[in-house]
Amino acid sequence: MNKLKTPAGNSISFLHLKSDSVDAPTIVFVHGFPLDHSMWNQQHPLQSIANLVIPDLPGFGESDSIEDLSMQSLSDQMAMLLDNLSAGDVIFCGLSMGGYIGWEFAYRHRDRLSGLICSNSRATSDDETTARARRVAASQVLKSGSTPVAEAMREKLFSPATIEQNPAVVHSVAETICKTAPETIAAAQLAMAQRKDHSDLLRTLEIPSLVIAGAEDRITPTPEMETMANQISGATFVEIADSGHLSPLENASEFNTAVANWLTERKPQQSSL
Ligand code: MLT
C-alpha cells in the first residue's frame, strides 16, 4: 500500500488505482466500522472506468491512529490525502461510517466534490439510546478486546444468504475486525455517538448522488434509505438484492453495476434552492 505522512506526523495507508480511461473521474472509497480498505477489494474492477483511491482511515488497517477520530477530523484527513494526490474533484463513496464521514466531507469540503455515493448509511445522528449503547460498547471493547465485537457483528452485518453461501466473505470481515485495535473501536464508537445530524444537508446538495441500500440490511434498512434518497434532488436510489449491511462485498456485481450505470448517466443536478 502507499503511505502519506501528514504534517502532524501520522501516516495514512491507501491504494491508488489509476484508470487508463481518458477523463476518468476519481472515486474515493471510505470503509465502514470497524473495517479497512480490504472491504472494497471487489470494487477494483471499477478501475476500468474510474481512478480509485481506497484509504485505511486513521487507526484502521495499516494507518496510524490519531487522537481525534471525529467524523469532522476524518473528513479532513481524507481531504488532506486527496490534496496530496492532486486528485481534483472527487466522487466520495462511503459505506455506513464512511457515509457519515461523507456528509462531513460534503459540508466541509464541498468544492472538492463532483458526486456522492452513500452506501448503507444515514444522515441522522444517534438518538440517546443508541449513543448510550455505543458508550457501553466502547468501554466493553477496552476490557474484552476486538474478537467479541467480530462475533457480535456477524449476524448484524450480513444477509442470511451471505452467511450461508459466502463463508469466505464472512471470515475475512471477522478477521479484519479482530485485527482492529480495541482503542480504535472504542474511539470510533464514541465519535459516532457524537456525530452531527446532517439531515438538513440533503436538501441543499447540488451534486449527483447515488444512494445504495441492501435489501436485507438490518442496520440501515431500505425504507429509511429510500426516504433519505428522496430528499436529495435528483438522487438515484438502488437496492442491492441478497445483501445485508455490506452491499459492496455481499453482492459486488450488482453494486459495481449500480456505480457504473450511475457514472454513465450522471449529469450535473439543478440547484434545489
Ligand atoms: C458501519 O458499518 O460503519 C457501522 O454500522 C456504523 C454504525 O455503527 O453506525
Beta-carbon neighbour count of residue 191 at 10 Å? 22
| pLDDT (average), residues 183-194 | 98
pLDDT of residue 155: 84
C-beta of 177 in contact with ligand 1 (< 6 A):
no
- Digit-coded pLDDT (tens) for 25-74: 999 999 999 999 999 999 999 999 999 999 999 999 999 999 999 999 99
pLDDT of residue 223: 98
Of 44, 37, 103, 42, residue with least CA distance to 70? 103
pLDDT of residue 67: 95
Residue nearest atom 7 of ligand 1, based on CA coordinates: 97
pLDDT of residue 217: 98
Would you say 13 and 37 are in contact if contact means Cβ atoms under 8 Å apart? yes
| pLDDT (average), residues 163-190 | 97
Residue in the structure block whose three cell numbers are 488497517: 61
Give the residue with greater pLDDT, 46 vs 22. 46
* Average pLDDT of every residue of the chain: 95
- Digit-coded pLDDT (tens) for 113-154: 999 999 999 999 999 999 999 999 999 999 999 999 999 998
Q: How far apart are CA 111 and CA 164, in angstroms?
A: 44
pLDDT tops 70 at residue 185: yes
Q: How far apart are CA 23 and CA 41, in angstroms?
A: 23
Looking only at Cα atoms, what is the longest distance across the chain? 51
Cα 271 to middle of ligand 1, angstroms: 30
Q: Indicate the pLDDT class of residue 269, thresholds 50, 70 and 90.
A: very low
| pLDDT (average), residues 163-173 | 96
* DSSP per-residue string spanning 156-215: HHS-HHHHHH-HHHHHHHHHHHHHS-HHHHHHHHHHHHTPPP-HHHHTT--S-EEEEEET
Task: List the grid coordinates of 95.
Answer: 459505506
Cα 11 to middle of ligand 1, angstroms: 24
Write the secondary structure of 58-96 as one string of H (helix), E (strand) and C (coil): CCCCCCCCCCCCCHHHHHHHHHHHHHHCCCCCEEEEEEC
C-beta of 121 in contact with ligand 1 (< 6 A):
no
Q: Which pTM value belongs to this model?
A: 0.96
If one residue of 29, 30, 33 were mutated to test the ligand 1 pocket, choosing by the most ligand atoms within 8 A of its CB, it would be 33
Lowest-confidence region among 54-58, 97-101, 202-206, 257-261: 202-206
Give the residue with greater pLDDT, 185 vs 270. 185
